[in-house]
Amino acid sequence: MKLLLCVTVLLVSVEYSFGANILGVVPTPSFSHQVVFWPLWTELSLRGHKVTVITTDPMNNAKLQNLTEIDLHSAYQLFNYSIFQVNERTTLELIYGHNEFFSNILDHMLTKDEVQHIIKDETTHFDVVMVEGFHTAAFAFASRFKCPLILLSSFDASSFAYREIGNPAHPVLHPDAMLPFSNILTFTQRLASCGHILLTKFTHKYLFLPTQQKLVEKHFGTGYPMIEDIFKNYSMFFVNTNHFFHPIKPLLPNIIQIGGGTHLQKPTFLPENLQNVLDNAKNGVIYFSLGSNVKSKDLFDDTRLEILETFKELPYTVLWKFENENLPNISKNVIISKWFPQQDVLRHPNVKLFITQGGLQSLEEAIFSHVPIIGIPVMIMSDQTSNIANIVSKGLGLSLDYKNIRKEDFKSAILTVIQNPRYRNKVKEIAALIQDQPETGLHRAVWWTEYVIRHGGAPHMRNPGIDFPWYQYYLLDIIGFVLLISMVVIFVIVALWKITVKMSRVIRLKLRKSFVYNLLFAYVVT
């Protein structure tokens, strides 16, 4: 027993002596962006690492003594507009608005006293920096502390980000997550995908990067590397995807898929009144939520009226996440609330359908609860449209355009998904595929984080193609050389052929003239 106790104490001390200082930066004011990484921060802190997280949604878990959270919840004040109104903007207005929004968020974060203390305190040290975002000023933390950088994404990374690190992202086979495409693309979609690449590259180079670089100079100081150079020296890239839901694409060994319900929490008891509503819903329940960023209260009046008229004609109980206290013209079978415990609601066996905007975390919660889906994507510059396109293509549900919701179509879609068992059966099939893997996404994320810490980074796993000039990466110099040699060879062959033809003509002409002259001379002589 004494020996066993000594070994146990030794193992524990060794594990905790490995504890590292970790800085996590997730500045996006969106609950869905934050909740994905909660299990990661929790597990790393429980394993003895000292974790500091800059987040808009702190967990405030007093049991996690190794976790320090810098509260950035005030950033939600910058998200004070209606998504439905934003969608009415032109493409150019959306691009500039997107740039301004994220610039304000990063500026707001880096201005915080607690964050400035981290930047300026010479005694502060971190062994690894983990940042959500792409080409963001927060990458400068890795340069500031001269430590490895781990990239984070709460959904699939953009195709532009993949290409920047040398990972294949074919515009036709692997269209960007922001595009509403799936399966085999039409010619128009292929054209749009290629155009999206050019537009993204142009806006990043001449708009986003210069804006973020100015924030680095403002809050960190001068002499820092360019953001794109810090980005290319990343060690790992954690993407919240899985092969069974997202389109299959080849991935570099340092791009780690952490998807598959990583954010899901253990079941808990529902509030008593809500439990009674779900238990007593004889015909079943429809759960309707547009997520945390899209507000149902901001729906256009005519759209909201069409939805209410549809629900009034259905035999099902409807739980609607609605942000106002009152909803005019509401029918008896509709219950509204500013918040529902979504995961536990979806787990209830009486829930027949989930109507959602298509956020990745919400879709995973529905799939793992075996609930079929009707998607109503709203946010244009997000993955909602492609997520719902995947849902439809895989047979997990149907899709509707929020701008053209009509009672007849809405009611037909609801009855089709609920009454046709193939949708629920397909959801169960996909859920089983996602869960059938040797390890969880959380396990992969923790293991590779500690791998980076143990080895001081993972430069050996970078694609050397990152350092190639673009013309070498796409073999344009080789293609050009081969074309040049081919042209020279063809030119020489053509030239020789022409010379040969000309010489043969001269010879034939001389021979012909010589024959005629001799014939005439012989005639005259005779």
**Residues counted in the chain:** 526
Strand partners, 321: 337
Higher pLDDT, 341 or 474: 341
Per residue in 441-477, pLDDT tens? 999 999 999 999 999 999 898 888 788 787 887 788 9
Rg from Cα positions in the chain: 31
Q: Enter the pTM of the model.
A: 0.85
How many CB atoms within 10 Å of residue 218? 13
User: Could you give the CA distance from residue 240 to residue 257 in angstroms, rounded to a whole number?
Assistant: 6
Read off the pLDDT of each residue in 399-410 and give the average, rounded to a whole number.
Answer: 92
Mean model confidence pLDDT for the chain: 88
Which of the residue ranges 170-179, 186-195, 263-272 would you say has the lowest mean pLDDT? 170-179
pLDDT at 158 over 70: yes
Tell me which residue has tokens 């942000």: 323
The pLDDT of residue 90: 83
Please, what is the Cα angle at 32 between 197 and 93, to 5 degrees? 40
Nearest to 215 by CA among 71, 116, 69, 97: 116
Percentage above 90 pLDDT, the chain: 58
The pLDDT of residue 521: 58
Tell me which residue has tokens 């995807």: 241
Give Cα 290 distance to the centre of its chain.
Answer: 19
The pLDDT of residue 98: 84
User: Could you give the CA distance from residue 199 to residue 205 in angstroms, rounded to a whole number?
Assistant: 10
pLDDT at 13 over 60: no
Percentage above 70 pLDDT, the chain: 93
